[in-house]
Amino acid sequence: MISVILPAYNEEKAIPGVIGGIKGLNIGCEILVVDDASTDNTAKVAHEAGARVICHPYNKGNGASIKTGVREAKGSIVVMMDADGQHDPKDIPSLLEHIGEYDMVVGARGKDSQNCLHRYVANKIYNLFARYLCGMKILDLTSGFRAVKKDVVRKFLYLFPNGFSYPTTITMSLIRAGYNVKYIPMSASKRVGRSKINLFRDGVRFFVIILRIGTLFKPIKVFLPVSCFCTLLGLGYYIYTFFAFHRFTNMSLLLLLSGINIFLLGLIAEQIAQSRLKQTERD
Span 35-47, average pLDDT: 93
Q: Can you give the CATH number for the domain in which 181 is found?
A: 3.90.550.10
CB count, 10 Å around CB of 96? 17
Same domain membership, residue 105 and residue 8: yes
Span 44-64, average pLDDT: 93
Largest CA distance in the chain: 81
The domain boundary residue, chosen from 214, 229, 254? 214
Amino acid (one-letter) located at 268: I
Same domain membership, residue 102 and residue 71: yes
CB 140 within 8 A of CB 218: no
Span 1-8, average pLDDT: 94
Same domain membership, residue 122 and residue 242: no
Q: Which pLDDT score, from 0 to 100, does residue 177 have?
A: 84
Same domain membership, residue 127 and residue 29: yes
Phi, psi (rounded to 5 degrees) for 38: -65, 150
Same domain membership, residue 199 and residue 109: yes
Q: How confident is the model at residue 48 (pLDDT cuts 50, 70, 90)?
A: very high
Summarised one tens digit per residue, pLDDT across range 163-215 is 777 888 898 889 888 899 999 988 776 655 555 555 566 667 777 777 777 78
For a pLDDT cut of 90, what percent of the chain falls above it?
50
Summarised one tens digit per residue, pLDDT across range 213-264 is 778 778 888 899 999 999 999 999 999 998 888 888 899 999 999 999 999 9
What is the residue range of 77's domain?
2-214
Q: Which pLDDT score, from 0 to 100, does residue 281 have?
A: 60
Q: Which residue has the higher pLDDT, 122 or 40?
A: 40
Q: Which pLDDT score, from 0 to 100, does residue 40 have?
A: 92
Domain count of the fold of the chain: 2
Same domain membership, residue 250 and residue 208: no
Same domain membership, residue 72 and residue 93: yes
For a pLDDT cut of 70, what percent of the chain falls above it?
88
Phi, psi (rounded to 5 degrees) for 110: -90, 180
Q: What angle do CA 155, 158, 162 make, to 5 degrees?
A: 135
pLDDT at position 96 over 90: yes
CB 97 within 8 A of CB 21: no
- Give CA–CA dist 210/194, Å, rounded: 26
Span 78-90, average pLDDT: 90
For 148, half-sphere exposure in the C-beta direction (CA atoms, 13 angstrom radius) is 31
> What is the model's pTM?
0.78
Q: How confident is the model at residue 69 (pLDDT cuts 50, 70, 90)?
A: very high
Pairing verdict, β 30-35 and 2-8:
parallel
pLDDT at position 12 over 60: yes
Q: Which pLDDT score, from 0 to 100, does residue 140 have?
A: 85
> Sheet of 30-35: strands edge to edge?
52-55, 30-35, 2-8, 77-80, 146-149, 104-109, 181-186
Same domain membership, residue 92 and residue 153: yes
CB count, 10 Å around CB of 234? 21
The domain boundary residue, chosen from 187, 214, 241? 214
Same domain membership, residue 244 and residue 154: no
Summarised one tens digit per residue, pLDDT across range 237-250 is 999 998 888 888 89
Same domain membership, residue 95 and residue 77: yes
Same domain membership, residue 162 and residue 23: yes
pLDDT at position 112 over 90: no
Same domain membership, residue 266 and residue 202: no
